[in-house]
Structure 1
Amino acid sequence: MRIVVTGADGFLGWHTRARLRARTPHAVVPVGRAGWSDLPGLVRDADVILHLAGVNRGTDREVLDGNVRLAEDVAAAVRGSQHRPAIVFANSVRAGESTSYGAGKHGAAAILAQAASDTGSRFADVALPNLFGEHGKPAYNSFVATFVASVIRGETPDIADREIELLHAQDAAQSIINAAMGTTETVRPRGTLTTVGDVLGTLHAQHTRYRTGDIPPLGNPLETDLFNTLRAAMASDNLPIPLVRRADARGALVETVRAHGSEGQSFFSTTRPGVTRGQHLHLRKIERFVVVSGKARISLRRVLTDKVLHVDVTGEEPVAVDMPTLWAHSITNTGDGELTTIFWANELFDPDDPDTYPEDV
């Protein structure tokens, strides 16, 4: 299928495109602000439109009118297409509230539903709660992103504690993809109920453990998702992670992984000179590489971006390099002899759900 994604450069847009790239063969056409005027032509032969673009900052009038205008543009593009593309709208649980944002989202949904009715297409309304996840912008996309930035800086922000429902952006993306492939007209994916204070406390505790290389307790999916969000924000400045080498007359000992309360699986590989392993990404899995013999270059790239991070490592001075979720990664033997690498993942390998998707760095 040919899928047009509006708001493609935004937080949810990036997560949705990354998931589509990893898990489906569909052709994805991203539309951001720069290419908005091309929308009618791009929609003309589309099978599905994922309308993820929205306005959540500005004056009340800018937020209300902005969401309505974006929906009107999508509706006009659909009416100009002879392909009758299905429309999936990333709506909000706040739609219909007596705020400019609630009114704008409610109005946008009505406009898109009418366009689908007029053209004989299908409309799916996906009402999303508060989203968070890797690479959100602090003070913009999510309070979780704001907390992550503050925790990394060693700050403790003032909060107004309250109960809140949180949904990871990858789970939101999957709900949107399911709506695109299915027949459901109204979708309300459920997040996890927690509190603002608990989120901040969890991030502080995770950062305290992880800044020394330890893996914190990951007792439930929310804790894992928060940790992956934190790791992604720390990745560029926190790799590699130093490991302590203890030596005496018998030899040396290095602890490669210290995981607190987590299941996991360790394994090792040998690699011949010049050979590259990996070239894939994970959506949820936490993975660590430690070279214990030989020389290697570990390369990482955030999916759908071009910048590559290279980390050169050697078994003479072992360090840990953790693979952020949604980053393609590989390891290449750059030495003259055999390379030995220890790997650790936080979950047992499941051949029916390996969470490993091909992606060249």
Structure 2
Amino acid sequence: MLRLAVTGAGGFLGWHVRVLLRALGWPEPTVVTRADLADPAAVAAKVAGVDRVLHVAGVNRGEPADVAAGNVQLAAQLVEGLRRAATPPGSLVFANSVQAGNGTPYGDSKATAASLLADTGLPFDDVLLPNLYGEHGRPYYNSAVATFCRVLAEGGQPEVHADRQLDLVHVTDAAARLAGVPAGGSWDPAMPPLRVGVRDLAGRLAAMADTYRTGEIPPLRDRHEVRLFNTYRSHCFPAHYPIALPRRADARGELVETVKAHGGAGQTFCSSTRPGVTRGEHFHLAKVERFVVLRGSAEISLRRVGDTEVLRFPVRGDEPVVIDMPTMWVHKLVNTGADELLTLFWTNELFDPDRPDTWPEPVEETSTAPVAVGA
């Protein structure tokens, strides 16, 4: 386990770094805020003696002059603080861009920032990141994926004005690469990209949204399709839930269509839960998980990792609905009735005890400090 300090910890990539570290049980990283960066003594105190400093803070959008000045200034402020640290950190990692040095204000400012950071004399890892996508990305800011997902979640259709090829990397893979987390879970620090055209990307996401509108699961044939689907679902939650299930009844009784998956692996579990008993209290980084209460009454509670607000869904077996657990949200199910609870659980992958993608954490955690994505 490494002790890390992170700039830009509240942004899209920074939040995913923190979620990954939390899953692995690493120490909570020291957060270096933008206010800290303006004070070299504050930076020096926070980075002293840590194993690795991740410089994730940056300016991606805005007036060209502001973008250029912002990225250089943030790096220069960090450098000044690093030089004042009583005990130098073990290494410095920069979340750079494949656009570095491409002649644009953004690209040239990232290249200049890298040069400033390299001059600290610390062991330096200049990581050139391509386009990142993932859960809770900011639409019209972080990536085309986030924009398309938000438009689709709101019932619209993405507009593609110019088609080009993109290399997309899931943000958790990038977080693992920056933090030095070895392969072994649902992440891959080698950052395998999805190469896709913008028009094709919009079509893929639109097809997922169309299938999922009634709760049916679209084809999830590889890890990028799973992660694109999870990204889309993050823009649907919580407004699109619960999803009512189709029911068929005749003289014999009732039939409820709980899962309609269009190809791909999956596993179904069915459990009984005694009154007052809780199941869950964990989160997933990649797994798609569905809860359907078939008998009894329950409350499903969820909290996004790093946040404090808890969302609650009361559910009953006589009116079965779907609640799909969004990735990186801690969740639990509590039997709130006087009788035994019967619940169906479905996941998109077979359970692997060596790689369960199940990370324990209580839903009710009042001590958790809020982390705003995109801050």
Q: CA deviation at 1:203?
A: 0.8
The residue type paired with residue 294 of structure 1 is: G
Name the counterpart of 2:5.
Answer: 4
Q: Is 1:52 equivalent to 2:52 in the alignment? A: no
Question: Partner amino acid for 1:10?
Answer: G
Matches within 5 A, 1:12-27: 12-27=13-28
Q: Is the 8 A contact 2:17 2:176 kept in 1?
A: yes
Where does residue 141 of structure 2 map in the other structure?
140
Residue 73 of structure 1: aligned partner: 77
| Secondary structure in 1 matching 2:119 | helix
245, 262, 265: which one aligns with 2:264: 262
Query: Does the CA-based 8 Å contact 1:12-1:52 persist in structure 2?
Result: yes
Instruction: Tell whether 2:135 aligns with 1:131.
Output: no
How far off its partner does 1:275 sit?
1.2
Contact 2:47 2:88 in 1 (8 A): no
Give the Å deviation of 1:271.
1.2
Alpha-carbon distance between aligned partners in 2 of 1:180 and 1:243, rounded to the nearest angstrom: 41
> Counterparts of 1:246 and 1:219 in 2: how far apart (Å)?
30
The corresponding residue for 1:176 is 178
Q: Aligned to 1:101, which of 106, 127, 145?
A: 106
How many residue pairs align between the two structures? Answer: 352
SS of aligned partner of 1:237: coil
Please report how far the alpha carbon of residue 110 of structure 1 lies from its aligned counterpart in structure 2 after TM superposition.
Answer: 1.0
Take 1:188 and 1:7, find their aligned partners in 2: how far apart are those partners? 22
Is the contact made by 2:17 and 2:175 (CA closer than 8 Å) also made in structure 1?
yes
Partner of 1:184: none
8 A Cα contact 1:44 1:77, kept in partner: no
Q: Which runs of 5+ in 2 are unaligned?
A: 184-188, 364-375
Cα distance in structure 1, aligned partners of 2:134 and 2:233: 11
Deviations 1:145-171 (A, max 9, x none): 111112223233133111110011111
How far off its partner does 1:180 sit? 10
Q: What secondary structure does 2:339 align onto? A: coil
1:269-308 aligned at under 5 Å gives the runs 269-308=271-310
Q: Secondary structure at the match of 1:77?
A: helix
Residues 197-230 of structure 1, C-alpha deviations (whole Å, 9 max, x = no match): 1110011100111110000011222211111000
Q: Is the 8 A contact 2:4 2:51 kept in 1?
A: yes
Measured at CA, do residues 320 and 229 of structure 1 come closer, stay the same or move farther in structure 2, by a change above 3 Å?
same
TM-score by length of 2: 0.90
Distance in 2 separating the partners of 1:308 and 1:58: 34
Q: Deviations over 1:70-129 (max 9, x none)?
A: 1111111211113221111101011111111111111111111111x1xxx321111100
User: CA offsets, 1:309-330, max 9 Å, x none?
Assistant: 1000011111111000111110
Cα offsets for 1:227-246 (capped at 9, x unmatched)? 10000100111111100121
Determine the C-alpha separation between the residues in 2 that align with 1:35 and 1:249: 69
- 2:111 is equivalent to residue 111 of structure 1: no
Code of the aligned partner of 2:272:
T
Deviating more after overlay: 204-213 vs 43-52: 43-52
Q: Deviations over 1:235-288 (max 9, x none)?
A: 111111100121111111101100001210001111111111101000000000
Alignment CA distance shift 1:256-1:180 (3 Å): closer
The alignment yields a C-alpha RMSD, in angstroms, of 1.7
Q: Which runs of 5+ in 1 are unaligned?
A: 182-186
Amino acid at match of 1:46: V
- 1:88–1:179 CA contact under 8 A, matched in 2: no
Question: What percentage of aligned pairs have identical amino acids?
Answer: 51
What's the TM-score, normalizing by structure 1? Answer: 0.94
Matched-pair contact (CA < 8 Å) for 1:47–1:84: no
